[in-house]
Amino acid sequence: MFDHSSYDSHEDVHLFQDAASGLKAIIAIHSTARGPAAGGTRMWNFASGEAMLKDVLRLSQGMSYKNAMADIPLGGGKAVIWGNAKTDKSPALFRAFGRAVESLQGRYYTAEDVGIDVADMAIVRQETAYVAGLDHGEAASGDPSPVTARGVFLGIVETAKRALGSGDLTGRTIAVQGVGSVGGYMCDHLAKAGANLIITDIDQAALKAVADRTGARIVAPDDIYDVEADIFSPCALGAVVNEQTLDRFRVKAIAGGANNQLVIPELGELLRRKGILYAPDYVINGGGIINVAAEISGNYSSEWVEAKLARLVQTLGEVLDEALTSGQPTNAVADRIARARIASAR
Ligand code: NAD
């Protein structure tokens, strides 16, 4: 563990195995310096335990940075459950996962991420109170995806101001990879703002629903990297900006909701050299965790969420401006600010 390439002085990493329900889960706590660790649970059919571990280490570090940039009193953590979200779910599995979360006694709060919905979290809640993203009960705030999507949309406008010379998206073309919870809601905002959409997904039903609502053009999953567009918006999984895709992009900016978009941080500099303005993922996609933070506080306030979201969008603008004026990659600027905020809390 201590030699793992994705280990970043994580405070603790917990493995859970429950033979009765088939649960195999990892909860990684990167930092509690700014408050209890918080971050969603992802259910995915990982290729291996190693792939699962790498994902949770990177995602939990990303949550520390994300929560610091959103300026909320939470540290960073993440959970992953090994399994197919369409076929392997059961109440017993989520109850076992709930007991795992409970065993950490509030060092980690969970919520939805890829493959997990509000109904799953309601089952987790039967075993532990350290859950957010619920739609019933005191201070419940529901699925955070709509707030994430709105934040990403506002972040795209902010990015467009710098990369395209105007935040007016009328007639602009946005290529969206993944039209699930975040991507789907985000497409609605983009269509309303007058943008032309090119979308892809591996889920045909989701694709059709979004195309019917927004008039989007559908392309095959691998073709999304080659389309000519103003902005590429990754809203599926991570590592989509890599050495294979880098030379395929025909866009002026990359701004989307997916976590860990760059396969390695050095890709930020390569994007900069190509003249592609990258909105750092954990800054632009912090809307959902702001909503979750409001719920965790026990006193949900939509005014507080709106104010934090507005400040986050402003922070994104500041990161982009500093990067553009200093000639640094945007992700390096964001990392430096996030690390400084965590260090000062320590
Ligand atoms: P989701 O599961 O609802 O949607 C993901 C979509 O991506 C699905 O429709 C899936 O079919 C599609 N997809 C998977 N592989 C694909 C591929 N190879 N090509 C094209 N499409 C593919 O998940 P979500 O909640 O919308 O999250 C999307 C991303 O945003 C994730 O990276 C997640 O970590 C991140 N994120 C989500 C939130 C949130 O509030 N839900 C907050 C911050 C970040």
Q: Is 329 in the pocket of ligand 1 (CB under 6 A)?
A: no
Dump pLDDT digits (tens) for 170-225: 999 999 999 999 999 999 999 999 999 999 999 999 999 999 999 999 999 999 99
Fold exhibited by the domain 12-62+75-124: Rossmann fold (3.40.50)
Is 231 in contact with 251 (CB distance < 8 Å)?
yes
What percent of the chain shows pLDDT beyond 90?
91
Q: Is the CB of 181 under 6 A from ligand 1?
A: yes
Instruction: State residue 27's pLDDT score.
Output: 98
Domain map (residue ranges) of the chain: 12-62+75-124, 145-286+314-342
- Evaluate whether the domain defined by 145-286+314-342 bears CATH number 3.20.20.100: no
pLDDT tens-place string over residues 84-134: 999 999 999 999 999 999 999 999 999 988 899 889 999 999 999 999 888
Mean pLDDT across 330-342: 97
pLDDT digits (tens, 9 = 90+) for 151-172: 999 999 999 999 999 999 999 9
Could you tell me how many residues make up the chain?
346
pLDDT tens per residue, range 56-94: 999 999 999 999 999 999 999 999 999 999 999 999 999
For residue 135, name the pLDDT band (cuts at 50, 70, 90): confident
Q: In whole numbers, what is the pLDDT of the chain averaged over residues?
A: 96
Neighbours of 103 (CB within 10 A): 14
Ligand 1: residue whose CA is nearest its atom 15 = 236
Is 144 close to ligand 1, i.e. is its CB under 6 Å away? yes
Residue 140: is its pLDDT beyond 80? no
Ligand 1 center from residue 346 Cα (angstroms): 32
Angstrom distance (rounded) from CA 283 to CA 236: 16
Q: Specify the pLDDT at position 68.
A: 98
- Closest atom of ligand 1 to 145 CA is 40
| Secondary structure (DSSP) of 214-232 | H-PEE--GGGGGTSB-SEE
* pLDDT of amino acid 306: 96
Torsion, CA 150, CA 186, CA 283, CA 34, rounded to 10: 60
Sole residue written with tokens 């719920």 = 295
- Cα–Cα distances (Å) from 83 to 22, 23, 69, 79, in that order, read 9, 8, 31, 13
Same fold yes or no, 12-62+75-124 and 145-286+314-342: yes
Which residues have a catalytic role annotated?
A: 78
What does the pLDDT average to over 40-54? 97
Distances (CA, A) of 35 to 30, 161, 205, 253: 11, 34, 40, 33
- Distance of CA 333 from the midpoint of ligand 1 (Å): 25
